[in-house]
Chains A and B, each alone.
Chain A
Amino acid sequence: MKSYKILSACGTGVATSTVAANKCKTLLQARGIEKVDVIECKAIEIVGKASIIHPDCIIHTAEIPVNKLGGIKTFRALQFITGIGAEQLADEIADYLKSLDK
């Protein structure tokens, strides 16, 4: 089975990114993406973390330097905090992950 890595970034690396990560994982599993690791980090660490971890995509609840991430796909994930539009965002992320040639 294909496995995926997602980086979840927020300002502190422990609050909203964790909530977003859990929600993301649950919703992706409901879409048949079972093996997914969601790793939390601080927004200021994102460039370094991304170059070490090589995530399949990044979700974020804080502003991140999108153009310094070597083309890794990013999703702004406020929907996973407010709940509004969360299903739709999960669809988008799932479609993106499934489109990857892995």
Chain B
Amino acid sequence: MLSENIKEELIFMDLDVQTREEVFHILGGKLTELNYTKESFVPALKEREKVFPTGLDVNGVGVAIPHTDQNHVNATALALAVLKNPVEFHQMASNIEDHQMVPVRFIIMLAVSGANYMDFLQNAILLIQDQEVLKRIVNAKTKEEIMHIVKEKEN
């Protein structure tokens, strides 16, 4: 269950950042501090985003799902952030040089590892495939609200 794996300390509300770099450092840094990921995770995320960007336009709501190779991960986890102001990410599957930007409001940072990560990943993606849920998440005011929405979605 996704909801059982969502830790309050890995949810960031109304995060006041200007750049992707800050997003990577704050969310990735927390994952590393909690030992879900290795020190190499944040640099690897940044490198990967440059080559394989993760911005998605979900019917007008910008979402990014930064992630990287399993060898930078100790244990499966995810960090969520609702951004105070949109931060631009390059669109997934686009060439960075084409500057196809998505203004992103919601971040799902994935740290995936081991054999049973698949359900976890699928469930995380299901969150953004439900536009009603996505809208509620972006407009949520508290961490509890986010956790509640995720739990409700799973039931």
> Which residues from chain A sit less than 8 Å from chain B, CB to CB?
10-12, 14-16, 18-19, 22, 43, 60-63, 76-78, 81-84
Inter-chain CA distance A22–B129, complex, in Å, is 14
Chain B residues in contact with chain A, CB under 8 A?
A: 48, 51-52, 54, 56-59, 63, 65, 67-70, 91-95, 110, 112, 117-118, 121-122, 125, 128-131
Q: Secondary structure of the B side of the interface? A: mixed
Q: Are the CB atoms of A15 and B93 closer together than 8 Å?
A: no
Partner of A18, one of B52, B68, B118: B118
Known contacts A43-B52, A78-B56, A84-B59; A18 and B92 CB within 8 A of each other: no
* Contact yes or no, B52 A82, CB < 8 A: no
> Considering the chains assembled together, what is the distance between the CA atoms of A53 and B125 in angstroms?
28
Contacts of A16 in B (CB 8 A): 54, 65, 92, 125
* Contact of A19 (CB < 8 Å), options: B54, B94, B122: B122
Q: Is the CB of A78 within 8 A of B112?
A: no
Residues of chain B with a CB closer than 8 A to A84's CB: 58-59, 131
Q: Which residues of A contact B69 (CB under 8 A)?
A: 12
What are some 14 contacts across the A-B interface (CB < 8 A)?
A11-B48, A11-B52, A12-B48, A14-B117, A15-B65, A15-B110, A16-B54, A16-B92, A22-B122, A81-B92, A81-B129, A82-B58, A82-B128, A84-B59
Other-chain contact of B93, A12, A14, A18, A78 (Cβ < 8 Å): A78
Give the distance to chain A from B73, nearest Cβ to Cβ, in Å: 10
A14 touches B112 (CB 8 A): yes
Instruction: Specify which of A11, A15, A61, A63 lies most central, judged by the most chain B CB atoms within 10 Å of its CB.
Output: A15
Asked if B125 and A19 make an inter-chain contact with CB atoms under 8 angstroms apart, the answer reads: yes
Complex Cα–Cα for A62 and B93 (A):
4
Contact A60 B112 (CB under 8 A): no
Complex contacts, A22 vs chain B, CB 8 Å: 122
Contact partner of A63 (CB less than 8 A), chosen from B48, B54, B93, B125, is B93
Contacts of B125 in A (CB 8 A): 16, 19, 81
Known: A16-B54, A81-B125, A82-B56. 7 other contacts (CB 8 A): A11-B51, A12-B48, A12-B69, A18-B118, A81-B92, A81-B129, A83-B130
In the bound complex, residues from chain A placing their C-beta under 8 Å from that of B92 are 16, 61-62, 78, 81
